[in-house]
Amino acid sequence: MIWIELAGWSDVGRRREVNEDRLFYQVQQSSDTSPTALCIVADGVGGHLGGKVASHWAVETIKRELADLFIPQDPRATLHLTQAEIQSLLAGEDDDESTERAPSFEARSISRIRTAIEKANAAVREYALRRPDEARGAGSTVTMVLLKGLRAYVANVGDSRTYLLRNSRLAPLTHDHSLVAELVSAGKITPEQALDHPQSNLITRCLGYVDQIEVDINAHDLCSGDCLLLCSDGLWDALRDPGLMTRIIRSVPDLETAAHRLVQAANHSGGRDNIAVALLRVKERADIPV
C-alpha cells in the first residue's frame, strides 16, 4: 500500500511587499484505498493587489471544481454509472460496444482538470474586467498535479513548474509558456542565455488574459520514492541548479523541512520574487511509522 506525504511553503521574498503566490495541497488516503491528492501553485501578475487576488481566485476555483474527488465514497457503492450507462446495460447493449463508447478514467480525469482550469481562467478574467482600477491586467500562472493512486496528471499554464525527483535526478514535467522558452525551442538562444535574457519575465500564456485558454496536461506513472516539486518562478529562477534543489530535498527526511529550506535558499540567492513550493512524495505504507 502506498502513502502520500505532502508539504508546502510560500514567502514574499526580499524585494516585494505583497505575496502574489498561492499554493494548496490536500490528500485523502486510508489503509484500504488508493490515495487521491491535489497540489496547486499559482503565481499572480498585475499591479496593486490584482495579482494577489488573481492567484487566489485561480486556486479557489480549481479547488471547488475538484472538491468532490475528496468526498468519501459509500463503500456499498461499487458501481458509479451515468444514467445513460445504466439504461444501456438494462437494454442489453453489447458490452464491448458500450465500453468503447464510454470515456476512460484517464480521459475523464484530464477533461475535469481542463474544465477546472478553464473555469479558473474565466473567474480571473471576470475579476479583471469588473475591477479594472484594482486589477490592471491581473492574471495568474498555474501548475497543478492531481494524483489518483500512482497516476499523476500534471497541468500548467505559464511558467510555474512541476518537477519529478527520481533516483537523485530532478527533471521538469512541464514546459514554460514564455518568450525565452520559445526562443530556446526555436534554437535562437541557449538555455544558459535564457536565464539572463532581458525579456525572461515575459510569459506567453496566463490565466485571465484571453477568453479561451490553452492548457498543457500530461500523465505520469509514479513509483515509491518519487517526489514531485511544484513551484513558482521565484524558486526555480533563484536557484537555477536542479542539482542544488535535489540536494536540499534529499538532505532532510521530511518534506516540510525541505520546503522551508528551498524557500530559504531562494531568499539567500536574492529573493527577488515571491516564492511558492509544494512537495508530494510517494512512500510505501510499510515505511510509515505506526
For the chain, the straight-line distance linking the first and the last C-alpha, in angstroms and rounded, comes to 14
Instruction: Give the lowest-confidence range in 197-201, 233-237, 286-290.
Output: 286-290
Torsion sign (Cα): 219, 222, 226, 227: positive
Assigned domain for 82 exists: no
Cα–Cα distance for residue pair 199/174, rounded to 1 Å? 20
Q: What is the mean pLDDT of residues 179-185?
A: 87
Q: Please report, for residues 5, 75, 207, 210, 253, the alpha-carbon distance to residue 214 in angstroms, rounded to integers and kept in the order given.
A: 30, 37, 9, 10, 38
Q: Is residue 164 part of a domain?
A: yes
- pTM value is 0.88
Q: Which residues of 9-30 are buried (b: 16+ CB within 10 A; e: fewer)?
A: bbbbbeebeebbbbbbbebbbe
Query: Is the predicted pLDDT of residue 28 greater than 50, yes or no?
Result: yes
Question: DSSP state, 178?
Answer: B
Asked if residue 281 is part of any domain, the answer here is yes
Per-residue pLDDT, 99: 47
107-116, 129-138, 151-160: least confidently modelled range:
129-138
Asked whether the predicted pLDDT for residue 77 surpasses 50, the reply is no
Average pLDDT over residues 90-102: 54
CATH number of the domain bearing residue 25: 3.60.40.10
pLDDT score at 176: 95
Q: 225-243: per-residue pLDDT in tens?
A: 999 999 999 999 999 999 9
Domain of residue 10: give its range. 2-70+98-287
* Number of separate domains in the chain: 1
| Residue 81 maps to a domain | no
The answer to whether residue 177 is domain-embedded is yes
Mean per-residue pLDDT, 270-282: 97
Residue 188, in any domain of the structure: yes
Residue closest to 153 by CA, chosen among 208, 93, 99, 111: 111
Per-residue confidence at 184, pLDDT binned at 50, 70, 90?
Answer: confident
In the predicted model, what is the mean pLDDT of the chain? Answer: 88
